[in-house]
Structure 1
Amino acid sequence: MAEFGRYLRLERDLSPHTVRAYLGDVNSLLDHLGGRIEVLEIGVLREWLAGQHAAGKARATLARRTACARTFTAYCHRRGWLANDPGLLLGSAKAGRELPAVLDQRQAEAVLGVASAGEPKELRDQAMLELLYATGVRVSELCALDVDDVDRERNVIRVLGKGRKERVVPFGAPALRALDRWCIHGRPLWVRERTGPALFLGVRGGRIDAGTVRRVVHARVAQVDGAPDMGPHGLRHSAATHLLEGGADLRSVQELLGHASLNTTQIYTHVSIERLRAAYRQAHPRA
């Protein structure tokens, strides 16, 4: 397990969250094997996954565990712990793709237009919300931003995304104004010796964590009547949907969001179509 964990971190360059999930999946598989890796073959893998399905695991979880099993068996085969790689015979379990909840443009304006005082926390929260909606970045990408990642002359931020792939994402004037207010009037009051270059800080001066950002987003969205409950990923969904509704092409949205595959981005076209259908049914006399 220790060697497999090092392989995932150093050679596959997976995120800490994915490494933890994969190691948990392998522990579950090894428990099913009774710790006897030599009995690992395709029938046992299918039996393990069938047990997960019977236990009511979500399709997304089953898809991840299938991918993990294939990665693990390939690793064991390369190390000589298995004579053959049974994962090659394992079919792909596809996660279900539910349409994400999104804000409409009026609700998005209301979320960002909530009046706030000039306290550091309010300045920080407003800057984070503006940037999340303006750029569609992931919450982990937002938390990892440093002060120097913001280019105020070109109105872009430099983001290090999944797989350590760097991309440049533009943002608009409202986000720039909110960032300037935070950086000039808020952030200096929270800076400590150990703060470092982090753009967004917690109240104790350290880099902000994803849990805090999620609480901020949930609380702000809850203040808007009729808005669906959502976290940072909901703002990402909303930004992508509004870009497409405004005429942006799919390839540009893919690049902005940092999706490796265009198929991932295409879900937002379905969101836009569903919203169009809903508006049609409500407004057309012969719908």
Structure 2
Amino acid sequence: MEVKHAVIEPSIVRDEYITYVRLERNFSPLTVSEYEKDVDGFLSFLSAEGIQDLNDVTYPEARIYVTGLYDFGLSRATISRKISSVRSFFKFASSRYDINDNAFRSLHHPKKEKRLPDFFYEKEMELLFTSCAGDDKKSLRDRAILEMLYATGIRVSELTSIKMGDIDDTLGIVLVMGKGRKERYVPFGSFAQDALDLYRENSRPALVKKKEHDQLFVSLRGDPITDRGVRYVLSAMVEQASLHSKVYPHMIRHSFATHLLASGADIRTVQELLGHSNLSSTQVYTHITKEHLRKTYMNTHPRA
């Protein structure tokens, strides 16, 4: 006689899993949001396939799901992330409800595309700085944002989480909260210091007014600025500078690392500044500098 198992409803496990990564794993809000979107996308697939029990998900269903991701034209990196998210979701479901999680454990991650990160050349960075010149509240804020991003190479999520007390003006360093809730100190130079001083003295008080919070960077309404807000600020700078480039905040981080390595900085130092756990994450920037040197040589040497 066949023993029937209890139905494991995907939506119930989903809610428990999101609570788990948010509270027990203590992931950042951005990471939790990515996991949530990835898992919700998979559950939508299950619903469309008429699967209402996680026990019924087998390897063929997992393959069909991944094939659909390729059909949508998603990058290999995005597909790899989604596989990791759903695999983690099934591992959690297996530990809580003893379901078989072999469906996604057997899937191989697609090989990453050998695509080098985009970055701004130094002259382009100068154009960006010129685009936010001015002494009005918005210009002072925008200049401080750009100076801090370029001076430190920090992620936008790290920038938006900086509090007033995280800045040490005496030493010229800022305390940032990186991935995995890991804290690190990052130095910044005199240009960023001057921009911060002007922003904190003349812009931030006028924007915040009577609102009570200690976030360093704020929106024009005085609320803590969001990642999307920073993206909007940078896009406006690119348009103002007439740069024909699709900008995303990480390009400033890429520029920071590329320019340091191109000027002879030690790769281990750059790794520490960026907050990379693995050196391989930093080494991609050495490929950028080598490719830049090769292109310069091919375009300028008379016998290239």
The TM-score with structure 1 as length reference comes to: 0.93
* Equivalent position SS for 2:259: helix
Aligned to 1:29: 42
Number of residue pairs the alignment of both structures matches: 287
Correspondent of 2:55 among 29, 35, 38: 38
Q: Summarize the Cα distance change of 1:170–1:54 in structure 2 as closer, same or farther, 3 Å threshold.
A: same
Kept after mapping to 1: 8 A contact 2:132/2:139: no
Q: Summarize the Cα distance change of 1:280–1:226 in structure 2 as closer, same or farther, 3 Å threshold.
A: farther
Q: Is residue 247 of structure 2 the alignment partner of residue 230 of structure 1?
A: yes
Partners of 1:159 and 1:188 lie apart in 2 by: 22
Q: Residues 97-176 of structure 1: matches in 2 within 5 Å?
A: 97-114=114-131, 116-176=133-193
Q: Summarize the Cα distance change of 1:217–1:115 in structure 2 as closer, same or farther, 3 Å threshold.
A: closer
Partners of 1:192 and 1:95 lie apart in 2 by: 48
Partners of 2:80 and 2:299 lie apart in 1 by: 37
Which whole-Å deviations, capped at 9, do the CAs of 1:233-276 have from their partners, x for residues lacking one?
11111111000011111111111111222111111111111111
Partners of 2:184 and 2:130 lie apart in 1 by: 28
Moved more, 203-212 or 19-28: 19-28
Q: Is residue 96 of structure 2 the alignment partner of residue 79 of structure 1?
A: yes
Q: Residues 195-274 of structure 1: matches in 2 within 5 Å?
A: 195-224=212-241, 228-274=245-291
Kept after mapping to 2: 8 A contact 1:5/1:23: yes
CA shift for structure 1 position 98: 1.9
Partners of 2:221 and 2:25 lie apart in 1 by: 34
* Equivalent position SS for 2:97: coil
* Equivalent position SS for 1:21: helix
CA shift for structure 1 position 286: 1.0
Q: Is residue 201 of structure 2 the alignment partner of residue 188 of structure 1?
A: no
Aligned to 1:20: 33
CA shift for structure 1 position 13: 2.3
Kept after mapping to 2: 8 A contact 1:38/1:81: no
The TM-score with structure 2 as length reference comes to: 0.88
Partners of 2:281 and 2:101 lie apart in 1 by: 33
* Aligned partner letter, 2:16: E
Partners of 1:263 and 1:37 lie apart in 2 by: 36
Q: Share of identical aligned residues, percent?
A: 40
Which whole-Å deviations, capped at 9, do the CAs of 1:173-196 have from their partners, x for residues lacking one?
011001001111111112233331
Question: RMSD across aligned C-alpha pairs, in angstroms?
Answer: 1.9
Kept after mapping to 2: 8 A contact 1:59/1:96: yes
